[in-house]
Amino acid sequence: MYAFCVLKRVSLLPPGRKLEEKHMNEKIGLRAFSTLLAVMLVSVSVVPAASAYDNPDESWTEVNSASYGQIDAYIASSVGYFGGPYIPERDVYECNFRMAGVGETRYNDGESASACRIQSLEIAETYNKPHQSIWTSTDPVRMGAWPRDNGNSAYYYTVAYKVSSLAISAISPYAGFALSAADLVAFMLNGCDDSEDGEVIWRKWEHNPDQTDVGHFFWWLIDVDPGQTIEFTVTDYLFGPVYEAVGVDRTFTITTPSRSPDSMTTVEREKYGIEIIPIDELKERSGELSIASETVDELIRYGEPVYYAHRLPVKVMPLNPDKEEAISRILERTGYSRDELFGVTNPLAATMEA
Inter-CA distances, 230 with 51, 61, 218, 253, Å: 30, 21, 21, 6
pLDDT tens figures, 228-267: 999 999 999 999 999 999 999 999 999 999 999 999 999 9
Helix or strand or coil: residue 17? coil
Give, as one character, the DSSP assignment of residue 112.
B
- What contacts 319, CB < 8 A, 6 or more positions away? 233, 249, 250, 251
Q: How far apart are CA 123 and CA 234, in angstroms?
A: 5
Percent with pLDDT over 70 in the chain: 83
- pLDDT above 70: residue 3: no
Q: How far apart are CA 190 and CA 173, in angstroms?
A: 28
Give the predicted TM-score (pTM) of the model.
Answer: 0.83
Q: Which of 41-55, 66-80, 133-147, 231-245 has the lowest mean pLDDT?
A: 41-55
Q: What is the pLDDT of residue 251?
A: 97
Phi, psi of 272 (to 5 degrees): -95, 5
Phi, psi of 187 (to 5 degrees): -95, -5
pLDDT tens figures, 292-334: 889 999 999 999 999 999 999 999 999 999 999 999 999 999 9
- pLDDT above 70: residue 226: yes
Furthest-apart CA pair in the chain: how many Å?
Answer: 67
Q: What is the pLDDT of residue 8?
A: 35
Residue 16 binned pLDDT confidence (cut-offs 50, 70, 90): very low
Q: Which residue did the predictor score with more confidence, 290 or 203?
A: 203
Q: How far apart are CA 173 and CA 104, in angstroms?
A: 12
Residue 137 binned pLDDT confidence (cut-offs 50, 70, 90): confident
Q: What is the pLDDT of residue 103?
A: 97
- What contacts 265, CB < 8 A, 6 or more positions away? none
Burial 194-221 (b: 16+ CB within 10 A, else e): eeeeeeebbbbbbbbbbbbbbbbbbbbb
pLDDT tens figures, 272-296: 999 999 999 999 888 778 788 899 9
Q: What is the pLDDT of residue 264?
A: 95
Q: How far apart are CA 101 and CA 41, in angstroms?
A: 25
Average pLDDT, the chain: 85
H helices of 16-144, where? 30-41
Domain residue ranges in the chain: 2-12+49-336
Give, as one character, the DSSP assignment of residue 51.
P
Residues 146/179, Cβ–Cβ less than 8 Å: yes
Q: What is the pLDDT of residue 123?
A: 97
Looking at this protein, which amino acid is placed at residue 235?
A: T
- pLDDT above 90: residue 107: yes
Q: What is the pLDDT of residue 18?
A: 32
Q: What is the pLDDT of residue 349?
A: 62
- pLDDT above 90: residue 129: yes
Q: How far apart are CA 59 and CA 286, in angstroms?
A: 21
